[in-house]
Structure 1
Amino acid sequence: MKTGRLYLIPVPLGQTPVADVLPGPVLACAQRLVHFVAENAKTARAFLKSLPSETPLQQIEILELNEHTAASALPQLLAPALAGNDLGLISEAGCPAVADPGAALVALAHQRGVQVVPMIGPSSILLALMASGLSGQSFAFHGYLPSGPQELGTRLRELERESRQQQRTQIFIETPYRNRQMLAALVQTCAPSTRVCVATDLSLDEEQITTRTVSEWRRQQHPEISRRPTVFLLQA
C-alpha cells in the first residue's frame, strides 16, 4: 500500500493573521487535511478554524505529541500516513520539529518510508539570527540553558569561550517569565566586548530586536521582555 505524506505545517508565532505569514500553498495544504498530530490540540483547532478548514472541525482527527508522549505511542500517531492518508504535523513553536517534540515523529516517518514535506513558515530562531547582525555562517542552537544561577553562569562562560574560538553565534531560549534573569546573567557574566542580541515577539506588531555589546547593555536601559517570547543570541 502506498503511504501518505507527512506535511510539516508552520503556524504563526502569535496572534498574527495567518495570511500575513504563511504562503498560499501552506494554507491550502492545511485546509484539505483531515489527520493531524499537534503539540496542543486546542491551539491546533484554533489555527484550523482561522483558515478555515474545508472539513468541519469535529470531523478532523488531531492527536497530541508533546514532551510527555512515550516513544511507544509514535507508531499510532503515524498510523494515518501508513494507511495511505496525508498527515499534518503542527507545533507550538512556529516550525514543526525545530526545538519541538515533533522531531521524533519525523524520524519515525523516515524509518517507515513516509515522505516528509517541510513547508515554509516563520521560525523564531532563524528570524532572530537574520536580524541580529551576528554570524550567520556558523551558529548553534542550544535550547534551554540551566536555570540555577551558578550552573547558568558556568554554561554561559562555556558558550562564550566556544563562540570566541569558533567565531560562532550561540542561540538559546528561556521560559518567558525568566527572561529578565537570563539577560541579567548575560550582562553580568560575559566579557564587555561580547555582543548580545535580544529578539522579542518576532513577527508580531510588538516585535523588538536589540543587539549591543555587553558593555553597552550595562550602561543602557533594558527593554521590557518579561513574559514575552524571546530568543537570546551571543557572539564573542
Structure 2
Amino acid sequence: MAEQKGKLYLLPTPISDNSIDLVIPQKVIEKSRSLTHFVVEELRTARRYLSKIKVETPIDELTFFLLNEHTPQQEIENFLKPLKNGIDVGLMSDAGLPSVADPGSLLVEAAHRNNIEVVPMVGPNSLLLTLMASGLNGQNFAFIGYLPVKPDLRRKKIRELEQRSRQEYQTLLFIEAPYRNAKLFNDILNVCHDQTRLTIACELTSSNQFIKTKTIKEWKKEPLPEINKRNTVFAILF
C-alpha cells in the first residue's frame, strides 16, 4: 500500500504592517503554526512572520526551502520530497497570496503533476482588493505584471494596454518597483486619453492606505499622490 502523501498548503501572509489578526484568518494562523516545512520566497520575512504568530516548533528547527525567480526547476522538484514522504508543507509568498504574481506557482504546478493535494487558504491580495475598491469592470480583468523599464518601451506598452482596454472593456492591473512609481504615473498621464479611468491603490490594509479612481483628465489637475517608494497597484479602464 502506497504511503499517504502530505498536502501542500498555500498560506497567505500580510501585505502591510497592520495587525496580523485583522487580515489573516485564525484557521490560517493555526495551520501555519502547526507546520514544520515551508517553501518561502524570502527567508528573513518568513522567519519573522512565523515568529510573530508563535509557530509551535522553534524557528531554528523548522525546514525552509527558498523559491524565487532564480530557483532552478530541478531544485523545485526536490521541494516535493517531504510531501512524497507524508509531510505537510506550507507555501508562503513574501506578502499576500502565494502563486499570485509570485513564483510559488511553479511548486503548485509540480505538486499537481505528482498527484499531491493542494490546499489554498483565504487571505489578502492587493490585486483583488484594488479591483474591489476601484469601481472599474470586475467582470473582465487581467493582471499584466511589470511594464518595461525603458521609458520608450513603457510608454508604448501603456498605449497598447489602453487600446486593449478600449476594445475589450477590460480592467488592466499592473505594478512597478516602488521607486519607479512616480515615473510610471507620469507616463500614464502623458500617454492615456483624458476619459480613461485610472485607479491608484497604495499600501492596502495598512493605516496609511490610499485608493482613488479618477479620469486621466481629473488626475492631471491633482498634485502627485504620495506613492514614491510605496507598494502600489495601478489599474486602468477606457
Same fold, TM-score > 0.5, yes or no? yes
TM range (shorter): over 0.9
The TM-score with structure 1 as length reference comes to: 0.99
For residue 93 of structure 1, report the CA deviation from its aligned partner.
Answer: 3.2
**In the alignment, which residue of structure 1 is the partner of 2:37?**
35
Structure 2: segments with no counterpart, 5+ residues = none
Give me the whole-angstrom Cα distance separating, in 1, the residues matched to 2:37 and 2:63.
Answer: 5
Could you tell me which amino acid in structure 1 is paired with residue 61 of structure 2? Q
Give the partner amino acid of 2:57: T
- 1:82 corresponds in structure 2 to 84
Root-mean-square deviation over aligned CA pairs: 0.7
- CA shift digits 1:71-129 (9 cap, x unpaired): 11111112111110000001013100000000000000000010000000000000011
CA distance in 1 between partners of 2:47 and 2:95 (Å) = 15
Determine what percentage of the aligned residue pairs are the same residue.
43
| Secondary structure, aligned partner of 2:79 | helix
Looking at structure 2, the residues matched to 99 and 50 of structure 1 have their Cα atoms a distance apart, in angstroms, of 24
Distance (whole Å) between structure 2 residues aligned to residue 184 and residue 59 of structure 1 = 48
Equivalent residue, structure 1, for 2:93: 91
1:199 aligns with 2:201: yes
Gaps of 5+ in 1: none
Quote how far apart the aligned CAs of 1:17 are. 1.9
Look up the match of 2:26.
Answer: 24
Amino acid at match of 1:17: S
| Cα distance in structure 1, aligned partners of 2:201 and 2:80 | 35
Q: What is the CA-CA distance between 1:222 and the residue it aligns to?
A: 2.0
Equivalent in the alignment of 1:65 = 67
- Supply the AA of the counterpart residue of 2:212: T
1:44 aligns with 2:46: yes
SS of 1:66's equivalent in the other structure is coil
Question: Residues of 2 paired with 1:17 and 1:107: CA distance?
Answer: 32
The 5-angstrom pairing of residues 94-113 of structure 1 reads 94-113=96-115
TM-superposed deviation, 1:15: 1.2
Decide which of 133, 136, 139 is 1:131's aligned counterpart. 133
4+ runs deviating over 2 angstroms: none
Counterpart Cα distance in 2 of 1:13 and 1:93: 5
Measure how far apart 1:221 and its partner are. Answer: 1.2
The 5 Å alignment of 1:84-233 reads: 84-233=86-235
CA distance in 1: counterparts of 2:229 and 2:77, whole angstroms: 36
For residues 6-52 of structure 1, the C-alpha deviation after alignment (integer angstroms, 9 at most, x for no partner) is 00000001212211111111000000000000001111010100110
Amino acid corresponding to residue 100 of structure 1 in structure 2: D
Structure 2 Cα separation of the partners of residues 191 and 136 of structure 1: 21
